[in-house]
Amino acid sequence: MREITADASLVAFCGLYCGACGSYLKERCRGCAGNDKAAWCKIRSCCKEKDISSCAECKEFTDAMECAKFNNLMSKVFGVLFRSDRAACIRQIREIGRQGHAEKMAASGTQTIKR
Ligand code: SF4
Ligand code: SF4
């Protein structure tokens, strides 16, 4: 079992914090960046194509919620089920950087900012 630590490399492209995710902590996943099985994810592939670390660096959309790839049906369902506000995560990364976001999420022990 891994421990929760503050590590900017564990911030997912969509703003979630893999470092506090159960799958990562149970060593079932390497985190979004290293998880090539997540090729299905349009957010991940878009960020990789743009060569950016997350939607917080996107020049196309200053508000990720206006992007249909970010604000897709699956993310809407996920957001309701898990009370997850990934757009708030992206805003927080913009405000305090990836490491700052990782520190806040590690301190709260959650993979997302709650709605
Ligand atoms: S939704 Fe996509 S970008 Fe977010 S953690 Fe999952 S695979 Fe990564
Ligand atoms: S906001 Fe949309 S276009 Fe911009 S990087 Fe994220 S998924 Fe891609």
Tokens describing residue 64: 């990720």
Would you place residue 84 in the very low, low, confident or very high pLDDT band (cuts 50, 70, 90)? very high
Average pLDDT over all residues of the chain: 95
Bridge partners of 114?
84
Lookup result for tokens 């099985």: 37
Q: Give the pLDDT confidence score for residue 90 in this predicted structure.
A: 98
Q: Region 40-54: what's the mean pLDDT? A: 96
Q: Which of 14, 54, 65, 67 best tests ligand 2's pocket when mutated (most atoms within 8 Å of CB)?
A: 67
Query: Which amino acid, one-letter code, is at 71?
Result: N
Q: In the chain, where are the structural domains located? A: 8-108
Taking the centre of ligand 1 as the mean of its atom positions, its distance from the CA of residue 37, in whole angstroms, is 11
Q: Give the pLDDT confidence score for residue 70 in this predicted structure.
A: 97
DSSP per-residue string spanning 64-86: GGG-TTTT-HHHHHHHHHTTB-H
Q: Region 48-75: what's the mean pLDDT? A: 95
Q: Give the pLDDT confidence score for residue 63 in this predicted structure.
A: 95
How much is the pTM? Answer: 0.94
Taking the centre of ligand 1 as the mean of its atom positions, its distance from the CA of residue 41, in whole angstroms, is 6
If we measure between CA atoms, which residue out of 28, 17, 33, 38 comes closest to residue 112?
17
* Pocket of ligand 1 from Cβ distances under 6 Å: 12-14, 16, 32, 38, 41, 43-44
